[in-house]
Chains A and B, each alone.
Chain A
Amino acid sequence: MRQWVSDLALGVRLALGGGRTSWVRLALTGAGIGIGVAVLLTAASVPTVLSERAEREALGAQVTGGTADAEKASGDVLYSTMWFTAYRGESVTGYFVKGSGPDAPVPPGMSRVPGDGELFASPALRALLESPEGGLLRERFPQRVVGTIGQIGLNAPNDLLFYAGDATVKEDAETAVVRFGGQVHERTLDPLLTLLIMVGVVALLFPVLVFVGISTRLAGAERDRRLAALRLVGAGALRVRRIAAGESLLGAFVGLAVGTVLFFVARQFVEDVRLLGLSVFMSDLTPSLPFAVVIAVLVPVMAVVTSVVAMRHTVIEPLGVVRRAKPVRRVLWWRLVPPVVGVVALISQSGTLGGPQNNASETVVIGGILMLLLSIPVLLPWVVEHAVGRLRGGAPSWQLAIRRLQLESGTAARVVGGVAVVLAGGIALQSIMASAASQVEDRPQRPADHSRIVIDMREATTEVAARTVDLLERSTGVEQVHTMRDLVFTGASEQFDLARVGTCEALRAQAVLPSCQDGDSFYVEHRSAYAGGPAPFKPGQKVTVNPKQDADGGQSGPQWTIPQYTVVTAPDDSLGYRPGLLLTPSLARDLPLAAGRATFHVMVDPDVPDVAEHVRNAVASMTWRTYTSYFGEAEVAQRVKEFQGIRRGLLAGSLITLLFAGASLLVLALEQVRERRRPLAVLAASGVPRGALSRSLLWQNAVPLLLALVVAVGVGGSLTVLLLKVISQPVVLDWPGIALLSGAAALLVVAVTVLSLPSLRRATGALGLRSE
């Protein structure tokens, strides 16, 4: 045991000795591993972010008097009506509230219930309202801001949330909140989304591990010479391995420390960062303990295992000092094991996630993905060695690069190997996402009509409706306002249908009518999306008009007979055309329209800047009664919302991984120049122009990169095909996406080469040559 400690200590001493050179090497290793650790810690924080959010969401859940969960409401209640609005594409959500007494439940994150005309805003909303950019939004919130909603009442720092006191809020059981706080909901995800997350997590995190492994092998040639010198003075093979492990351990621990510091420093600024609309609270970004422990153990273990395995091919023999043997030719057979195992694993899961069922073994699927991605860094050195072995001739820079690669291509292959893994993961991820998008978003999204804004209004009395029209007509950019009243008819056996009442001009905004005059009625047909729904009421059929304007309002309203109508077809049901009856005003004279819902179709000039904001502001005084949207703006289903959230998360992760790959690549490229500074200096001294050396450096990265692209596209494509078979989807490769990713990877390598040129210049400068 003492010997072990002594050997490890000697390794540490060797890693620290050597003055500036050793420190630079240690700093590069620490930076390489540190960046990886920081990314891993960020990933390890995702479960905490999600669970903290879910807990806060549960804390803020409203238990209303109308629900089974509510206790017998003996004390005060909080009447609350939700309201959505939007501001320049950002969603603003809030509640208009009114306490029934002093003991009304207080929403989480607030000190008290706001009184009439008072507003509690989230920090982001408050900042927006106080900023010049929020000028238009301020008009919508005339209330006095009396407080800020604390973190416990928010999902994320960028939430635009408010609670506004409003004396006009409806008082009924459905709006009466007896308390806040509910159960944390277990999220059960669609199998397809589960697979997407699996691919995403593996594809994003595996490259990080690859880079951590590669970083531990920085300055391998120097280490080999050092260890050979130790062998010469009598250190046994096992001891040399222990000493090498000591060296790697130091790098790993420095990397762990650097990564942890980096993570906690970056964490201070996380609330200011918004990536694809996502933001997190600093306190949420806390690595989950089990994952943090795994990282703390995994990184040093990986460092040691990688460096010891790497020594397998390096002849750490005493003669390493004086004679460098020709490197051993790489063999293929064992390198084929990971891809074969991966392919077999994924084939065994074919169809298990097809349709709604989930019979897949997550372990096998993840294992298969891991194995296929692992095959890239395993196969690449062999591919590069054999491919460059056949290259000949060319310009001096090309010849220098090729000869160098023929002598030792391992480092270059490792440098681009990590990028290739990112690329293959990206290809698979993009293709699965494209496939998932077509499956999840079963109806293609069409752009909304930005020249027409629809305002839905609850409790639209005649006066309120008239005032609304007046306000809208005076608003900037508004050309015309069409008012329609909404009704719900209920027939026998719970059959119901919708009707809309308006002038012919207004109804024409709703459907294409052949001809229209007062007294006419039309029926907009249900489209395929509604196929299988209730059959329309027949002319002459007796129905009950539901005064509550909803489907389950009972049979308490007045009776009415469906008039003769003309069937018309909506031009496109996905663009806001609602099926149901369209009635001109004289037909609805006896119907109770005054207490019902109203819809305003506001025709606007879309070229007027912020026209939608002006329209929203115009009806802001109606507060909770209104909901504004563009005509044809589809309501997004929960599944689609989840998919879009995952897609945003994965894209954000891809961006982080790509940045990480770039940073790691730069570290590796700098180390490559540093390791080869002696031959580079000698070449410069013997008259090789710097331009030729720079181009040679580019070729040394570009040739392996080209080969890496081929391997990455092959493996990424195979992974896509196999995963699409797992979810029983037709095999379609996203070629434009592949081209884009490949181009990005190529650009990354060129950028990294350019950034490493100053280091090359230093190495080949007069001073560099002298110090060598």
Chain B
Amino acid sequence: MSDTAPDTTPDSAPDVAADITPTEPHTTPVLTPHPAPAPAPAPARTLLEAVGLHKSFGPTPALDGAGLSVRPGEVVAVMGPSGSGKSTLLHCLAGILTPDKGTVRYRDVELSAMGDGPRSELRRTDFGFVFQFGQLVPELTCLENVALPLRLGSVKRKEAESRAREWLERLEVADVADKRPGETSGGQGQRVAVARALVTGPRVVFADEPTGALDSLNGERVMQLLVTAARETNAAVVLVTHEPRVAAYSDREVVVRDGRSREMEPIT
């Protein structure tokens, strides 16, 4: 490879992997019924930063210079109307989509320069995902779903399932452990998804409309559990939503409109 070639070769993977070594999973915390108080002021160092992102799907621009920075442990709500580009921004931040222009840096490593292997590993170890629906594998039981990222990371089955069970208990869905996702209610399914997102002890949880398919009561409960668990494990949360009620769980809000982002006044 030439010196000028982007650092996407497999040879570069060990360095990147070393840089994104996951934190050890935390011991089981005790959940409080309400969101924990906001942590101490975030360290100055940015965990995840996107600058000047452009992304188009065919002729339709989705992002037009959007940017966002996330510090460790903070909850950032990305708001905006439908079609404004907030989900696309989240997907770019998570390395699922590659922006046409602009950079996304995670712990000083450029995501778009990473190959598929390191990016997959990053999703397995440092990132967690909670989507509106569909992210659970319907063929696996809820317990197996939660244990899946650990199993993919070569953790032995027993250990993986034991840790998964702890998270199901923390999220109050231990009773559905042996059920398949299709056999659970929407709220239970989302809590299982939250457990799966957090089981590896991620540094960032990406939540795209996590309560979009739930009633308000269930939505509230899922948000409480997600934010509490994230704070207890010091995981940052990037929360895409168009509901102010959900955004209220965040430390700060970023509004995306027509593919451009704008920081809102800090929440007091």
Alpha-carbon distance between A17 and B121 when the two chains are bound, in angstroms:
25
Question: Are A14 and B140 in touch, CB under 8 angstroms?
Answer: yes
Task: For the complex formed, measure the closest distance between the CB of A415 and the CB atoms of chain B, giving whole angstroms.
Answer: 25
Task: For the complex formed, measure the closest distance between the CB of B254 and the CB atoms of chain A, giving whole angstroms.
Answer: 21
A237 proximity list for chain B (CB < 8 A): 116-117, 120
Q: Which of A16, A230, A317, A319 contacts B148 (CB 8 A)?
A: A230
Q: Which of B96, B121, B125, B148 contacts A236 (CB 8 A)?
A: B121
A226 proximity list for chain B (CB < 8 A): 137-139
Alpha-carbon distance between A230 and B122 when the two chains are bound, in angstroms:
14
CB of A22 within 8 A of chain B?
yes
Question: Which residues in window 221-262 of A have CB below 8 A to B?
Answer: 225-226, 229-239
A16 proximity list for chain B (CB < 8 A): 139
Question: Are B124 and A17 in touch, CB under 8 angstroms?
Answer: no
Alpha-carbon distance between A318 and B141 when the two chains are bound, in angstroms:
20
Question: Which residues in window 140-181 of B have CB below 8 A to A?
Answer: 140-141, 144, 148-149, 151-154, 180
| The stretch of B1-9, B38-46, B66-74, B126-134 that contacts the partner chain | B126-134
Task: For the complex formed, measure the closest distance between the CB of B122 and the CB atoms of chain A, giving whole angstroms.
Answer: 8
CB of A18 within 8 A of chain B?
yes
Question: Are A233 and B139 in touch, CB under 8 angstroms?
Answer: no
For A15, give the chain B residue with the smallest CB separation.
Answer: B139
Task: For the complex formed, measure the closest distance between the CB of B140 and the CB atoms of chain A, giving whole angstroms.
Answer: 5
CB of B51 within 8 A of chain A?
no
CB of A551 within 8 A of chain B?
no
For A236, give the chain B residue with the smallest CB separation.
Answer: B120
B36 proximity list for chain A (CB < 8 A): none
Task: For the complex formed, measure the closest distance between the CB of A225 and the CB atoms of chain B, giving whole angstroms.
Answer: 7
Question: Are A321 and B140 in touch, CB under 8 angstroms?
Answer: no
For B121, give the chain A residue with the smallest CB separation.
Answer: A234
B132 proximity list for chain A (CB < 8 A): 322
Considering only CB atoms and an 8 Å cut-off, how many residues of chain B contact the other chain? 34
Task: For the complex formed, measure the closest distance between the CB of A695 and the CB atoms of chain B, giving whole angstroms.
Answer: 31
A321 proximity list for chain B (CB < 8 A): 131, 134-135
CB of A641 within 8 A of chain B?
no
Question: Which residues in window 207-255 of B have CB below 8 A to A?
Answer: 208
Question: Are A234 and B125 in touch, CB under 8 angstroms?
Answer: yes
Q: Which of B97, B134, B196, B208 contacts A233 (CB 8 A)?
A: B196
B131 proximity list for chain A (CB < 8 A): 232, 321-322
Question: Are A233 and B123 in touch, CB under 8 angstroms?
Answer: yes
CB of B105 within 8 A of chain A?
no
CB of A13 within 8 A of chain B?
yes
Alpha-carbon distance between A231 and B94 when the two chains are bound, in angstroms:
12
Task: For the complex formed, measure the closest distance between the CB of A657 and the CB atoms of chain B, giving whole angstroms.
Answer: 35
A493 proximity list for chain B (CB < 8 A): none
Considering only CB atoms and an 8 Å cut-off, how many residues of chain A contact the other chain? 29
Question: Are B134 and A236 in touch, CB under 8 angstroms?
Answer: no
A19 proximity list for chain B (CB < 8 A): 180
Question: Are A14 and B152 in touch, CB under 8 angstroms?
Answer: no
CB of A3 within 8 A of chain B?
yes
CB of A10 within 8 A of chain B?
yes
A319 proximity list for chain B (CB < 8 A): 91, 96-97
Question: Are B180 and A232 in touch, CB under 8 angstroms?
Answer: no
Alpha-carbon distance between A189 and B18 when the two chains are bound, in angstroms:
69
Question: Are B125 and A322 in touch, CB under 8 angstroms?
Answer: no
A233-B116 contact, Cβ under 8 Å, with A18-B180, A225-B134, A226-B137 = no
Question: Are A318 and B136 in touch, CB under 8 angstroms?
Answer: no
Question: Are B129 and A236 in touch, CB under 8 angstroms?
Answer: no
Task: For the complex formed, measure the closest distance between the CB of B166 and the CB atoms of chain A, giving whole angstroms.
Answer: 18
A10-B123 contact, Cβ under 8 Å, with A229-B136, A233-B129, A318-B96 = no
Task: For the complex formed, measure the closest distance between the CB of A618 and the CB atoms of chain B, giving whole angstroms.
Answer: 76
For B134, give the chain A residue with the smallest CB separation.
Answer: A321
Alpha-carbon distance between A318 and B98 when the two chains are bound, in angstroms:
12
Q: Which of A3, A13, A22, A231 contacts B154 (CB 8 A)?
A: A3
Question: Are A236 and B135 in touch, CB under 8 angstroms?
Answer: no
Question: Are B149 and A17 in touch, CB under 8 angstroms?
Answer: no
B96 proximity list for chain A (CB < 8 A): 232, 317-319
Looking at B117, B125, B134, B153, the one whose CB has the most chain A CB atoms below 10 A away is B134
Looking at B97, B120, B140, B196, the one whose CB has the most chain A CB atoms below 10 A away is B120
B144 proximity list for chain A (CB < 8 A): 13, 17
For A222, give the chain B residue with the smallest CB separation.
Answer: B138
B122 proximity list for chain A (CB < 8 A): 234
Chain A, 288-329, contact with B by CB distance < 8 Å: what is the 0/1 string? 000000000000000000000000000001110110000000
Task: For the complex formed, measure the closest distance between the CB of A3 and the CB atoms of chain B, giving whole angstroms.
Answer: 7
Alpha-carbon distance between A231 and B149 when the two chains are bound, in angstroms:
10
Looking at A14, A226, A229, the one whose CB has the most chain B CB atoms below 10 A away is A229
Looking at A3, A19, A232, the one whose CB has the most chain B CB atoms below 10 A away is A232
Looking at B87, B129, B196, the one whose CB has the most chain A CB atoms below 10 A away is B129
Question: Are A233 and B140 in touch, CB under 8 angstroms?
Answer: no
Question: Are B138 and A18 in touch, CB under 8 angstroms?
Answer: yes
Alpha-carbon distance between A217 and B137 when the two chains are bound, in angstroms:
19
For B131, give the chain A residue with the smallest CB separation.
Answer: A322
B140 proximity list for chain A (CB < 8 A): 13-14, 17
Task: For the complex formed, measure the closest distance between the CB of B216 and the CB atoms of chain A, giving whole angstroms.
Answer: 23
Chain A, 207-231, contact with B by CB distance < 8 Å: what is the 0/1 string? 0000000000000000001100111
Q: Which of A13, A225, A236 contacts B116 (CB 8 A)?
A: A236
Question: Are A229 and B91 in touch, CB under 8 angstroms?
Answer: no
Alpha-carbon distance between A231 and B121 when the two chains are bound, in angstroms:
10
Alpha-carbon distance between A556 and B140 when the two chains are bound, in angstroms:
95
Task: For the complex formed, measure the closest distance between the CB of B233 and the CB atoms of chain A, giving whole angstroms.
Answer: 17
Question: Are A17 and B120 in touch, CB under 8 angstroms?
Answer: no
Question: Are B139 and A14 in touch, CB under 8 angstroms?
Answer: yes
A235-B135 contact, Cβ under 8 Å, with A18-B180, A322-B208 = no
B138 proximity list for chain A (CB < 8 A): 17-18, 226
Alpha-carbon distance between A402 and B97 when the two chains are bound, in angstroms:
32
For B96, give the chain A residue with the smallest CB separation.
Answer: A318
Alpha-carbon distance between A22 and B87 when the two chains are bound, in angstroms:
32
A232 proximity list for chain B (CB < 8 A): 96, 123, 129, 131, 135
Q: Which of A14, A225, A235 contacts B120 (CB 8 A)?
A: A235
A230 proximity list for chain B (CB < 8 A): 137, 148, 152
For A226, give the chain B residue with the smallest CB separation.
Answer: B137
For B146, give the chain A residue with the smallest CB separation.
Answer: A233
Task: For the complex formed, measure the closest distance between the CB of A423 and the CB atoms of chain B, giving whole angstroms.
Answer: 37
Task: For the complex formed, measure the closest distance between the CB of B247 and the CB atoms of chain A, giving whole angstroms.
Answer: 20
Looking at B127, B151, B153, the one whose CB has the most chain A CB atoms below 10 A away is B151
Question: Are B137 and A239 in touch, CB under 8 angstroms?
Answer: no
A236 proximity list for chain B (CB < 8 A): 116-117, 120-121
A322 proximity list for chain B (CB < 8 A): 87, 131-132, 134-135, 208
B152 proximity list for chain A (CB < 8 A): 230, 233-235, 239
Alpha-carbon distance between A366 and B180 when the two chains are bound, in angstroms:
50
Task: For the complex formed, measure the closest distance between the CB of A19 and the CB atoms of chain B, giving whole angstroms.
Answer: 6
Alpha-carbon distance between A342 and B145 when the two chains are bound, in angstroms:
48
Alpha-carbon distance between A325 and B170 when the two chains are bound, in angstroms:
36
Looking at B116, B124, B138, the one whose CB has the most chain A CB atoms below 10 A away is B138
Task: For the complex formed, measure the closest distance between the CB of A117 and the CB atoms of chain B, giving whole angstroms.
Answer: 74
Question: Are A22 and B139 in touch, CB under 8 angstroms?
Answer: yes
Question: Are B139 and A17 in touch, CB under 8 angstroms?
Answer: yes
Alpha-carbon distance between A226 and B144 when the two chains are bound, in angstroms:
14
Task: For the complex formed, measure the closest distance between the CB of A642 and the CB atoms of chain B, giving whole angstroms.
Answer: 55
Alpha-carbon distance between A18 and B140 when the two chains are bound, in angstroms:
7
For B124, give the chain A residue with the smallest CB separation.
Answer: A234
B124 proximity list for chain A (CB < 8 A): 233-235
> Known contacts A17-B138, A226-B137; can you find 16 more A-B pairs with CB under 8 A?
A17-B141, A18-B180, A22-B139, A229-B136, A230-B148, A231-B120, A232-B129, A234-B124, A234-B152, A235-B120, A235-B152, A236-B116, A236-B121, A238-B117, A318-B96, A318-B129
Q: List 18 A-B contacts (CB under 8 A).
A: A6-B151, A6-B154, A14-B139, A17-B138, A22-B139, A225-B134, A229-B136, A230-B137, A232-B96, A232-B129, A233-B123, A233-B196, A234-B127, A234-B152, A236-B117, A239-B120, A318-B123, A319-B91
Interface residues of B (CB under 8 A from A): 87, 91, 96-97, 116-117, 120-125, 127, 129, 131-132, 134-141, 144, 148-149, 151-154, 180, 196, 208
